[in-house]
A and B are shown apart, each in its own frame.
Chain A
Amino acid sequence: MNAPVSTPTWDSRRQARARRLHRAESLGLARRVPAGRSVALLEAVIEPGDRVCLEGNNQKQADFLASSLADCNPAVLHDLHMLMSVLALPSHVDLFERGLARKLDFSFSGPQANRLARLVQDRRIEIGAIHTYLELFARYFVDLTPHVCLIAAHAADAAGNLYTGPNTEDTPAIVEATAFKSGIVIAQVNELRESLPRVDVPASWVDFVIVAPRPNYIEPLFTRDPAQITEVQVLMAMLAIKGIYAEYGVKRLNHGIGFDTAAIELLLPTYAAGLGLKGKICTHWALNPHPTLIPAIESGFVESVHCFGSEVGMDAYTAARPDIFFTGADGSMRSNRGYSQTAGLYACDMFIGSTLQIDLSGNSSTATVGRLAGFGGAPNMGSDPHGRRHASPAWLKASREAADGKAIRGRKLVVQLVETFREHMEPVFVERLDAFALQEAMGAELPPIMIYGDDLSHIVSEEGIANLLLCRNPEEREQAIRGVAGFTPVGMARDKRAVESLRERGIIRRAADLGIDPRLATRDLLAARSIKDLVRWSGGLYAPPSRFRNW
């Protein structure tokens, strides 16, 4: 037997880690680093070409560490490969404009969608891929493991234990992937405390803690002011409740973040209760603590809610409802985006949300030309998981409809709730998604489709409900979609006789077919008509951010 030529190295990452920590130490930077030396720390422990995971979702942001990284010297740090759930802050885009970072793997870019699209077109950024949250977290444990992660927590103790409080969100997934593959974990915290209410991340997983000059930013993304809900949204909510929630007995579900689904939440204690649906629908949720869910919770509709993150102003309320929300021994809520996304994917029977465009195959997308927005979590929730094996009545009924009763597996309900026209008379129903034009402009391998048509089970518009499960061929499917597309060009091009025949078969159902009186579709049907009403429902526990206070 030949002896190996050289002794293999099995701990090169650990050696690299020791080297990086030594560089920091030689600058006098140990576990607790003053905010003023954050740039020195980052330049010491990060190396050119590193994969750097910068925490930030559509809620909590490691904003101080993001701006510190953007302030680093591009002669020292360059060609970084950024891993980010959400590209939301101007400093995130600065990383690429200032030449620190070159490559990006991400999930969602909301507010920076326009700037990001320009960078891609100017070839100043290389996009690895646009992921869903679960997909991105999964890759942290496979081929995108971070060398360094920059995270946000609420508080740290002297030992370096972290308390993330109600906004735990992505932190556990990021830290686990980094800390256990010889990476370096740097946390910004709002404050140091003698003792923590509870430990969300143990100190031995954390290398450096910086007390940020300002508390980390949290966006109240899931707050919808009931005052802005329209009567058309009330009508669509009535259609959805009577025609889908009640029909399938949907108990476990996830809602999107729009006003359309907020209207449904506010109709549970009124319209749904009137239909005798309390206890029969909407009992278990994978959902952020939406303020508009408060009336349904207070009315006894809801048994359990697991959250991706928290919501600004909801902490006292969730802490006071531990039967409903997941809370720690300290009393405050614990969220976890990875687990909640998994719950939305595998343990929910329905996803219902909104979109900007739907095509004739039922594909939908929020990408429009000039905006590279990404997906977030919607495709996890809004897809039929073929790995699911446990049955529920809603899951079985949906699959029986799709397979003429001969199902060997179930089917998730994936529902798009849209008005036929958006603002400025932009039609939602289109022949061709902008996503395809965007794919060409970006030279991407795939069009950025949020929910694939073959996963979509229903479309609800003000014109009624199209049940795509019952369609037996692509032509029926196309006419079912045109049949609820109203007076958009796509809707006006429908085959009237085909649509009437679909209506006779119950594939299209109008409000009248469901016995819905349009005169009931008024804002009086909303359990709360203002933010102040929500505060009242919560017994004063909900403390809305000032921008939502108008009294």
Chain B
Amino acid sequence: MEKLEFTLPACAAPASRGFTQSFALCGVVASGNLEVLVGAGAAASVCEISVTTSARGFAPIWQALLSEFAAQNPAGGTRIAINDMGATPAVVSLRLGQALCEYLGAER
């Protein structure tokens, strides 16, 4: 197991969000998959992410992927917990996108 922590600059989540739920959960902890939990963070200008992963040695890819995610999405003011069992970057990006949309309560 490897534990990684990131605090990344991000655009603030839109204030108009409905607050219909206090957190969003996407995915499952299973081989090649991961669980992403999005909740409220401490500061509006950053996205805090903690990663627990079964695959060691991929910190640079996590850093690049999560920085890109925080820069491209209104993820400011969130705190995200990731429990990973060897998901590919494609799966990680998809789950992050799904979980953030769900948390922000955007219309489908």
Chain A interface (Cβ within 8 Å of chain B)?
A: 230-232, 235, 419-421, 425, 461-463, 486-487, 492, 511-512, 517-521
Contacts and interface: CB of A to CB of B under 8 A. Distances in A.
A512 B91 CA distance: 16
Given A487-B61, A487-B64, A462 B98 contact: no
A232 B90 contact: yes
A51 to B, nearest CB: 46
Given A487-B61, A487-B64, A487-B65, A521 B98 contact: yes
A390 B97 CA distance: 43
A521 B93 CA distance: 12
Contacts, number: 47
Contacts of B65: 487
A1 B101 CA distance: 93
A518 B64 contact: no
A19 B91 CA distance: 66
Contacts of B101: 517-519
Contact of A421 (B88, B94, B98, B108): B88
B90 A419 contact: yes
A264 to B, nearest CB: 17
9 contacts: A230-B91, A231-B91, A419-B88, A420-B89, A421-B88, A425-B88, A511-B97, A517-B101, A519-B101
Given A487-B64, A487-B65, A518 B94 contact: yes
Contacts of B64: 487, 492
Contacts of A235: 94
**Which one of B93, B101, B102 has the highest number of Cβ atoms from chain A below 10 Å of its Cβ?**
B93
Nearest to B108: A517
A231 B94 contact: yes
Interface in B21-69: 58, 61, 64-65
A514 to B, nearest CB: 13
**Which one of A419, A487, A492 has the highest number of Cβ atoms from chain B below 10 Å of its Cβ?**
A487
A486 B93 CA distance: 10
Contacts of A419: 88, 90
A486 B98 contact: no
A541 B58 CA distance: 48
Contacts of B93: 462-463, 486
Interface of B: 58, 61, 64-65, 72, 88-91, 93-94, 97-98, 101-102, 106, 108
A425 B89 CA distance: 9
A486 B102 contact: no
Nearest to A511: B97
Given A421-B89, A519-B102, 4 more contacts: A232-B94, A420-B89, A517-B108, A518-B94
A452 B26 CA distance: 39
Contact of B90 (A420, A492, A519): A420
Nearest to A520: B108
A495 to B, nearest CB: 14
A276 B96 CA distance: 29
B100 to A, nearest CB: 9
Nearest to A234: B94
A268 B108 CA distance: 20
A421 to B, nearest CB: 5
Given A487-B61, A487-B64, A487-B65, A518 B89 contact: no
A421 B90 contact: yes
Given A487-B65, A521-B98, A462 B90 contact: yes
A425 B58 CA distance: 10
Contacts of B88: 232, 419-421, 425
**Which one of A230, A517, A518, A521 has the highest number of Cβ atoms from chain B below 10 Å of its Cβ?**
A518
Contacts of B72: 512
Contacts of B98: 518-519, 521
- Ranked 6 nearest A-B pairs via Cβ: A518-B97, A462-B90, A232-B90, A487-B89, A518-B98, A421-B88
B94 A486 contact: no
B60 to A, nearest CB: 8
**Which one of B65, B88, B90 has the highest number of Cβ atoms from chain A below 10 Å of its Cβ?**
B90
Contacts of B89: 420-421, 486-487
B90 A486 contact: yes
B21 to A, nearest CB: 14
B108 A519 contact: yes
A521 B90 contact: no
A462 B106 CA distance: 21
Contacts of B108: 517, 519-520
Contacts of B91: 230-232
B6 to A, nearest CB: 15
B9 to A, nearest CB: 15
Contacts of B102: 519
Contact of B94 (A420, A425, A512, A521): A521
A356 to B, nearest CB: 15
Nearest to A518: B97
A518 B61 CA distance: 21
A523 to B, nearest CB: 12
A461 B93 CA distance: 12
A403 B88 CA distance: 37
Given A517-B101, A519-B108, A462 B61 contact: no
A487 B90 CA distance: 9
**Which one of B58, B91, B101 has the highest number of Cβ atoms from chain A below 10 Å of its Cβ?**
B91
Nearest to B89: A487
B26 to A, nearest CB: 9
Nearest to A235: B94
A32 to B, nearest CB: 55
Contacts of B90: 232, 419-421, 461-462, 486
B34 to A, nearest CB: 12
Nearest to A461: B90
